[in-house]
Amino acid sequence: MGTTSTPAYDAHADWYEGYISGSGDYLRRVHATVADLLGAGEGRCLDICCGTGAHAPVLTGLGWTPVGVDLSGGQLRHARGRLPAARGDAGALPVADASLPAAMCVLASTDLPDYPAVLREVARVLRPGGRFVHMGVHPCFVGAFADWSKHPRVVVDARYADRSHSFDSWNVTGVRVRVGAWHIPISDLVNATVDAGLRLVRVVEAGRGGVPDLLGLLAIRDR
Ligand SMILES: C[S@@+](CC[C@H](N)C(=O)[O-])C[C@H]1O[C@@H](n2cnc3c(N)ncnc32)[C@H](O)[C@@H]1O
């Protein structure tokens, strides 16, 4: 389906490895939310857009067997020290139908121009009863439309409705100014999850200072 034609992260993989490993409290919150939503289990959990594999230890700690897929060979170079991982497109997962008990996609929805297509792939590869965790930047409060420079006051503007790809950012230290980001309003995200045939069972918001910067969803592939 061609979610993206160029592995944009190839040029930034060494930077990303240091960025995500050094992201301290943020990474701890991501991991705590993933653990809370996914819970303990057995069997393979596919980390879609696994990047450098930073979340593999969380999956292992919960009892899952992590396996990854990512488009970027540069990212996979780092990931392969942490989990078995293959090069592949999230929009055409190299995985058989109804074969997985669990999958997750963490901090990557904004890298994908057609996240609804990825959610349909998730529904295809999950077994009945299988779990899917979406974890991403909070679509209401993080994006080209949000200025965090006066945190805890966060200013959101009319670009919230703009779904296009953008490099605009209130700061110059993150992923957004390097590779840009897509934006999915929260209604689009929830509706796409449900439309893919996944049953939404839990929502978690996480953040500092009252304004959440992360949103996590747990959805189940019904029988
Ligand atoms: C911000 S990084 C997140 C990586 C990892 N999930 C994490 O939380 O650290 C986004 C990742 O999505 C990957 N990606 C982007 N488009 C993709 C696609 N169509 N299929 C698979 N991976 C993709 C990139 O190569 C990159 O590693």
Cα–Cα distance for residue pair 47/153, rounded to 1 Å: 34
Q: Report pLDDT digits (tens) over 71-80.
A: 999 999 999 9
CA 161 to ligand 1 centroid distance, Å = 24
Q: Is pLDDT at 1 greater than 60 in this prediction?
A: no
Condensed to tens digits (0 to 9), the pLDDT of residues 64-98 reads 999 999 999 999 999 999 999 999 999 999 999 99
Give the whole-angstrom CA distance, residue 194 versus residue 221.
Answer: 10
Does the residue 171 lie in any domain? no
* CATH for 107: 3.40.50.150
Distance between Cα 50 and ligand 1 center (Å) = 6
Number of folded domains in the chain?
1
Q: Answer whether residue 154 is part of any domain.
A: no
**83 located within any domain:** yes
Could you tell me if residue 174 is inside a domain? Answer: no
**Could you tell me if residue 58 is inside a domain?**
yes
Question: Ligand 1 atom closest to Cα of 47?
Answer: 6
Do the domain assignments include residue 133? yes
Which two tokens mark 218? 């747990």
Q: Which domain holds residue 198?
A: 8-140+183-221
β-pair partners for 219: 132, 200
What pLDDT was estimated at residue 223?
78
**How confident is the model over 91-118, as a mean pLDDT?**
98
Residue 147, domain member (yes or no):
no
pLDDT at 6: 60
Q: Look at residue 150 and tell me whether its pLDDT is greater than 50.
A: yes
* Average of per-residue pLDDT values in the chain: 95
Contact 25, 209 (CB under 8 A): no
pLDDT digits (tens, 9 = 90+) for 7-38: 899 999 999 999 999 999 999 999 999 999 99
Is 73 among the domain residues?
Answer: yes
User: Cα separation of 60 and 47, whole Å?
Assistant: 12
